[in-house]
Chain A
Amino acid sequence: MTGFQIPRNSLAWMLAAQTAVILPHISRMPYSTIALCFFCVLWRVMVYQGRWSYPGKWVKVLFVFFGIVGLGIGYGTFLGLDPWVGLLIMMFVLKLLEMHHKRDGYVVILLGYFVALTQFLYEQGIPYTLYMFVCVIMITAALIGLNQTRSHLRPVQTFKKASVLLLQSVPLMIVLFVLFPRISPLWTVPLQSSVARTGVTDTMTPGNIALLTQSDELAFRATFADEVPPLSKLYWRGLVLSRFDGESWTQELPALYGRLYRPDQPPPSWRDNMELLGEEVKYSILLEPTSQNWLFSLTMPEGTDKEGIGLVRDFRFYSFREIRSKLRYELTSHLNYRIDRDLHDFWRYRYTLLPVEGNPRSKRLAESIWDRSPNKQEYIRNVLRRFNREEFVYTLKPPVLGDNSIDEFLLDSKRGFCEHYAGSFVFLMRTVGIPARVVVGYQGGEYNRIGNYVEVRQFDAHAWTEVWQEGQGWVRVDPTSAVAPERIESGLEFAVEGEDTFLSNLPLSWMKYRQTLWLTEIRLQLSALSHYWDSWVVGYTPSVQMSLLARYFGDLDRKWLGMVMMSSFFSLLGVVAIFILGKRSHTLLRPIDREYLKFCQLLAKQGLPRSVGEGPLHYAARVVQTRPDLAPAMKQVTDTYVRLNYAEDQPEKTESLRKAIRVYRFRNLVTET
């Protein structure tokens, strides 16, 4: 059947769906692939219009070759997810030029569903999900079009039919979604390669946290079991940076830290150095993907029982896998704690290590302050006082610093962001032999009362310090609070209010309008909605499923869950079936019966209803008694009906009954007027 022409309805929806499905991928696709897609669609339209014919075999081979080379050059590799998605899209589009059979149409449509799927590997938000739902309706419309008669030329009807089918499927989908037993991955799969690393990094150079704060992207949301602590106490510890090379701060060599404290192994010896005091704060964090390994926690956390995560020697969490998708973990922290009360000489040495060369003026400054201070505590206080009293400025636009960055910052420019203060503070501590280290993470956040969680965004990124003191262990010192206390109390936006630099690159960011109340209200609502979505839909993992179902069904195993799923699915399918097949009231009437009953209804309107079980002849006689004027019409209709009733069931004859009734109606009209 080489003359197969795909129905117009189907082709139109196929092309529309294809465009819609590919559109979100375009930013990740090489130009050559985009050009190929466009050209194939154009060619297909030309074929439909009869201007061009299908390409020959060699042209197609050339297209495939060109496409694959284009993908190879564009991505530079065939490893990873993106080139494979590109290849899938290419096949999807090239198949358009090879539609000789109805079967080929099905192949295009099935590929379309699959391309729709790949979008979820990149985006899982509510807007994208709704968009993909519309795409799926369009693909389904193409599928319906393929099965309609060629004379059916109403694409909107086809789309409506597809919507009805899919909307009826949604309740069933929900049952499967909730109850289908989730299991852990069967094998490892290529992951997307184009996700940028976001969030705080393991290197702190003056300027890079300031850069991070230009973004209003979500970092994580934390839901507290009980009352939310004041924002000023929310120090989300991410990384400890203790090595300084004169320019940037980096992590300690992992080998020095020894074993991690993880749920599947006995605790390491350093676990005894943690003394957790005071009330416990329980919370869960839903972390956005970062492509990094570190996790954020409030100081000071207990261990975790989540697999794949461990507590490092410097008391922060580390994930064994890069975080490529949203990750939820639950923690308990104690805001009062005492850690490393006794610090081994080796660590005292490591935490006071500075490059021999560089920043000589700062070293002299430290020594002069040290000479004035009676003890270490007083020294710390004097340094902070210096930040506070001299004209240090907290700014998002610090000047560029040269080789001796700490010298230049402390003695010349005096303008800096949190990393400047934290870095130079640790420098000043270490110069006089006080163990100190930089901590990076986030500070504060925004409390969303609708969803009862704290939302932390990239502009909440922060750097502070920890100083080791005899008898107290590591104590948090935030030099930024000495310069700009409002940063800690109210957030970055208020701290830099005067200089108009908050999210200056994002003129339309929601976050800039926090003072506008109604906008804030909407923003909080949307944020809460998206949080529910992330926690209950996107984050519906095997463990979430188990804990949710255990709440309603108690403990259940997979087999039992499977049975619950099947029985709920099929009962719901029964309900849908009643809904779909329900309307069949007078389907068993013959056409002549239907016409006759309509006629009886007309008479009933005249006050002459037919009694139950009254035969047509008796009824006619009774009607004529009260209304002699109707006699001829009654006779004709009744005779025709009775004759047809016992005659062979020839549908053409229904017309004669209709005609008789029409005559009655006409006469009746005459007598009424």
Chain B
Amino acid sequence: MPPSSAITLDQRKIFILPTKEGILFSFLIVFMVIAGINYQNSLIFALAFLLASLFMVSILHTYRNLSGLTIMAGGTLPAFAGEDAEFTVVLSRFGVRTYEALLLGWNIDLLLGADLLEDEEVKVKLFVETRVRGLMNPGRMLIQTYYPVGLFRAWSWLDLDMKTIVYPRPVPAGAIPFSESTSSDGELIQREGVDDFYGLRDYQQGDPLKHVAWKSYARTDELLTKQFAAFADRRVWLEWDFFPGMDKEARLSRLCHWVLKLDTGNDEYGLRLPGVEIAPGRGPEHREEMLKTLALFEVEQGS
């Protein structure tokens, strides 16, 4: 089946087979029929046939518990290699049919249960273990159910076309060496408009209106002026060449560690990889861009 972001299950996609318990149950029925024959007891026959019919009817109910269900790809959250990446899957039902005890996931030993009873839509957060950095597609997801009686297992493998980014596994690499290129540049650039907020003081005549803390004024009736301090920050360059002799993954892991470290500080940081350069910057989006670059840098196909 080709990958797709929303799949409605129907008979082409659902497989169904008896479970071990189902086979045991059918042996029980055979045993009961033999008891009925030997005791010439009609009601034992009746019970055996009732259970045999239940066995057959349960096929339909188990099938029904998947059929018509729509599974959609929801959002994903990136992860560092070795951690679990989060994939959100949305199950939805239309009409009166409800779904119960659905099990889903990518790892058959670690399936997550979900019910779709009163809700028409339910989001299930699934975690998939990551191993290597790069763009990760967890592959086909398993959705299965034993409901209602556990005698049959209905299942389907779905290719939901979900991807997430796996960042390199961070590896501590000691103190950050300030790259020579940074210090030799020597100039500190006074930038405008990107100053950091510092504090508030009483409004004084002549303060620019756009620096007045209007929100605070609305709350307290006091005119205050926002103060901005302009720091002559250090700008850090993270260099591919910091780690001579190391292989690619080892370098990326250490660079990743520093990105995380620098992100908690106040420094602006940039990245230089062979053929890639990201100008120094700060903030979540910058961090994201850095990590993404590290994750996707010369990724081997198929990872």
A180 to B28, CA, bound (A): 17
Question: Does A580 lie at the interface of the complex (its beta carbon under 8 Å from any beta carbon of B)?
Answer: yes
Question: Does B299 lie at the interface of the complex (its beta carbon under 8 Å from any beta carbon of A)?
Answer: no
Instruction: Write the B53-78 contact mask toward A (1 if CB under 8 angstroms, else 0).
Output: 11011101101100110101011000
Question: Does B121 lie at the interface of the complex (its beta carbon under 8 Å from any beta carbon of A)?
Answer: yes
Q: Which of A184-192, A290-298, A448-456, A621-629 contacts B (4 or more CB under 8 A)?
A: A184-192
A587 to B92, CA, bound (A): 10
- The reply to whether A580 and B60 contact each other, CB–CB distance below 8 Å, is yes
- The reply to whether B92 and A651 contact each other, CB–CB distance below 8 Å, is yes
Question: Does B297 lie at the interface of the complex (its beta carbon under 8 Å from any beta carbon of A)?
Answer: no
Complex contacts, A116 vs chain B, CB 8 Å: 47
- The reply to whether A120 and B68 contact each other, CB–CB distance below 8 Å, is no
- The reply to whether B44 and A120 contact each other, CB–CB distance below 8 Å, is yes
Instruction: Write the A172-194 contact mask toward B (1 if CB under 8 angstroms, else 0).
Output: 11001100101111111100000
- The reply to whether B37 and A183 contact each other, CB–CB distance below 8 Å, is yes
A172 to B120, CA, bound (A): 33
Complex contacts, A584 vs chain B, CB 8 Å: 67-68, 95, 97
- The reply to whether B150 and A106 contact each other, CB–CB distance below 8 Å, is yes
Count, A-B residue pairs, CB within 8 A: 182
A143 to B35, CA, bound (A): 23
Question: Does B232 lie at the interface of the complex (its beta carbon under 8 Å from any beta carbon of A)?
Answer: no
When A166-B54, A183-B37, A325-B41 are in contact, do A651 and B147 touch as well, CB less than 8 Å?
no
Taking the nearest CB of chain B, how far is it from the CB of A646, in angstroms?
Answer: 14
Question: Does B100 lie at the interface of the complex (its beta carbon under 8 Å from any beta carbon of A)?
Answer: yes
When A180-B45, A586-B94 are in contact, do A165 and B28 touch as well, CB less than 8 Å?
no
Q: Which of A476-484, A589-597, A636-644 contacts B (4 or more CB under 8 A)?
A: A589-597
Instruction: Write the A443-478 contact mask toward B (1 if CB under 8 angstroms, else 0).
Output: 000000000000000000000000000000000000
Report the count of interface residues on B (CB-CB < 8 A). 61
Question: Does A169 lie at the interface of the complex (its beta carbon under 8 Å from any beta carbon of B)?
Answer: yes
Complex contacts, B101 vs chain A, CB 8 Å: 147-149, 152
Question: Does A517 lie at the interface of the complex (its beta carbon under 8 Å from any beta carbon of B)?
Answer: no
Report the count of interface residues on A (CB-CB < 8 A). 68
- The reply to whether A140 and B40 contact each other, CB–CB distance below 8 Å, is no
- The reply to whether A165 and B57 contact each other, CB–CB distance below 8 Å, is yes
- The reply to whether A186 and B38 contact each other, CB–CB distance below 8 Å, is yes
Complex contacts, B47 vs chain A, CB 8 Å: 113, 116-117, 120, 132, 136
When A116-B47, A177-B45, A591-B92 are in contact, do A186 and B57 touch as well, CB less than 8 Å?
no
- The reply to whether A148 and B39 contact each other, CB–CB distance below 8 Å, is no
A577 to B16, CA, bound (A): 15
Question: Does B203 lie at the interface of the complex (its beta carbon under 8 Å from any beta carbon of A)?
Answer: no
Question: Does B113 lie at the interface of the complex (its beta carbon under 8 Å from any beta carbon of A)?
Answer: yes
- The reply to whether A124 and B41 contact each other, CB–CB distance below 8 Å, is yes
Complex contacts, A114 vs chain B, CB 8 Å: 28, 31-32
Complex contacts, A591 vs chain B, CB 8 Å: 92, 94, 120-121
A583 to B38, CA, bound (A): 43
Question: Does B126 lie at the interface of the complex (its beta carbon under 8 Å from any beta carbon of A)?
Answer: no
Question: Does B43 lie at the interface of the complex (its beta carbon under 8 Å from any beta carbon of A)?
Answer: yes
Q: Which of B12-58 contact A (CB under 8 A)?
A: 21, 24-25, 28, 31-35, 37-54, 56-58
Taking the nearest CB of chain A, how far is it from the CB of B98, in angstroms?
Answer: 10
Complex contacts, A143 vs chain B, CB 8 Å: 149-150
Say which residue of B40, B41, B42, B95 sits within 8 Å of A586 (CB atoms): B95
Say which residue of B54, B63, B67 sits within 8 Å of A140 (CB atoms): B54
Instruction: Write the B112-154 contact mask toward A (1 if CB under 8 angstroms, else 0).
Output: 0111000011000000000000000000000000111110000
Complex contacts, A151 vs chain B, CB 8 Å: 113, 115
A144 to B151, CA, bound (A): 10
Complex contacts, B42 vs chain A, CB 8 Å: 124, 177, 537-541
- The reply to whether B35 and A117 contact each other, CB–CB distance below 8 Å, is yes
Complex contacts, A180 vs chain B, CB 8 Å: 33, 45, 49
Complex contacts, B97 vs chain A, CB 8 Å: 583-584, 587
- The reply to whether B57 and A583 contact each other, CB–CB distance below 8 Å, is no
Question: Does B96 lie at the interface of the complex (its beta carbon under 8 Å from any beta carbon of A)?
Answer: yes
Q: Which of A243-264 contact B (CB under 8 A)?
A: none
Question: Does A168 lie at the interface of the complex (its beta carbon under 8 Å from any beta carbon of B)?
Answer: yes
Question: Does B5 lie at the interface of the complex (its beta carbon under 8 Å from any beta carbon of A)?
Answer: yes
Question: Does A377 lie at the interface of the complex (its beta carbon under 8 Å from any beta carbon of B)?
Answer: no
Question: Does A234 lie at the interface of the complex (its beta carbon under 8 Å from any beta carbon of B)?
Answer: no
When A580-B60, A651-B121 are in contact, do A186 and B92 touch as well, CB less than 8 Å?
no
The 3 closest A-B pairs by CB, nearest first: A169-B53, A172-B53, A176-B49
15 A-B residue pairs with CB within 8 Å: A110-B24, A114-B32, A117-B47, A121-B44, A140-B54, A143-B149, A143-B150, A149-B114, A151-B113, A169-B56, A177-B45, A180-B49, A189-B38, A584-B97, A651-B90
- Other than A172-B57, A183-B37, A189-B38, give 17 A-B pairs with Cβ distance below 8 A: A103-B21, A114-B32, A120-B41, A144-B148, A165-B148, A168-B57, A170-B53, A172-B52, A172-B56, A537-B43, A538-B43, A541-B42, A573-B56, A580-B57, A584-B97, A587-B97, A651-B72
A-binding residues in B (CB < 8 A): 5-6, 8, 21, 24-25, 28, 31-35, 37-54, 56-58, 60-61, 63-64, 67-68, 70, 72, 74-75, 90, 92, 94-97, 100-101, 113-115, 120-121, 146-150
